Amino acid sequence: MKVTIYTPTKNRKEALAKAIDSVLNQTYQDVEMIVVNDGSTDGTAEYLEAKAKLDSRLKFFNKTTSEGAPVARNLAIKNATGDFVTGLDDDDEFTPERIQAFIQYWELLTNLGLKPACLYAQDVVTRHGEVYFISQKKGMLKADDLFEFNSIGNQVFAPKSHFVDAGLFNETLPAWQDMEMFIRILKKFGTAHLLDCATQIYDDTPKQDRISVKAESKIRDAYRQFSLLHTEHSARNAQALMLQMFSKFYGVRPGFTDWVNFIKLGFWPKGFLKLALATFRP
């Protein structure tokens, strides 16, 4: 069974080289990597052309105009020839056994009569090249679980048809595109299963000030769109999703209007406590 790995990239040639090598050096060799160069100006196009001549499993699209990661991911998935699809960000890496472990775990689950919506795994989280921590994700997830926290992370492993039938990535969302896509996959296909070993090296090095006005505007816009798409029948999910917006990761602080909107959605003591902590944290 062939596995396609998609990677959008823009102006990260050195990091991208490590990501590509981590895919082409997998213990499971029946892979295809599709890199979508989203308008890079740092020599990425020339690097991809030279690298692909050395290994035919590497394919690429060199775009002259940047249209964003969701558009790039969808272009790669539409052109994937693999039975399964998964992603890799251009500044992350796979451990050598990741794809083989996913294939074996999928076969084990299906032999037991289970029908996974997708698989996900633990991450080795690094900062500035050093191990920061190893994730401790929950074992099985339904769609509603992701409203409180995206325990999956940034990548899933699933048949190509699951990505396509769920509608691919939402190209209009300014943020949270991964989580929104995962919710649609779980709504349509059921349960996500955890491969409980760390098989991805995830770079969490801070790249910019997350509390900038531009970043806050994107997160708030993503929440509004996301909420309209998925929380119409659950005020509690809308509240949980709002609290994600106010997590330390994004640095967005609740204001008076946020409190009013949260209260309108219903009485939730635990939620009010979390909202208060986000409001008054240092």
Give the model confidence (pLDDT) of 75-126 as tens digits: 999 999 999 999 999 999 999 999 999 999 999 999 999 999 999 999 999 9
- Closest to 12 (Cα-Cα) out of 37, 49, 46: 37
Q: Where are the domains of the chain?
A: 3-203, 213-280
d(CA 144, CA 236): 10
* Residue 68: pLDDT over 90: yes
Give the mean model confidence (pLDDT) for residues 27-37.
98
Residue type, 276: A
Phi, psi of 40 (to 5 degrees): -65, 150
pLDDT in tens, 213-272: 558 999 999 999 999 999 999 999 999 999 999 998 888 999 999 999 999 999 999 999
Share of the chain above pLDDT 90, in %: 93
CATH of 3-203, one of 3.30.499.10, 3.10.20.30, 3.30.413.10, 3.90.550.10: 3.90.550.10
Q: When comparing pLDDT for 220 and 209, which is higher?
A: 220
**Tokens, residue 163:** 């990505």
Note the pLDDT of residue 272. Answer: 97
Note the pLDDT of residue 129. Answer: 86
Phi, psi of 174 (to 5 degrees): -80, -15
Q: When comparing pLDDT for 129 and 146, which is higher?
A: 146
* Residue 153: pLDDT over 50: yes
CB-count burial class (<10 Å; 0-12, 13-18, 19+) for 109: middle
d(CA 281, CA 276): 8
Note the pLDDT of residue 210. Answer: 41
Other CB atoms within 10 Å distance of the CB of residue 185 = 21
Q: When comparing pLDDT for 185 and 215, which is higher?
A: 185
Confidence of residue 209 (pLDDT cuts 50, 70, 90): very low
* Residue 208: pLDDT over 60: no
Stated as kind and residue range, the H or E segment containing 114 is none
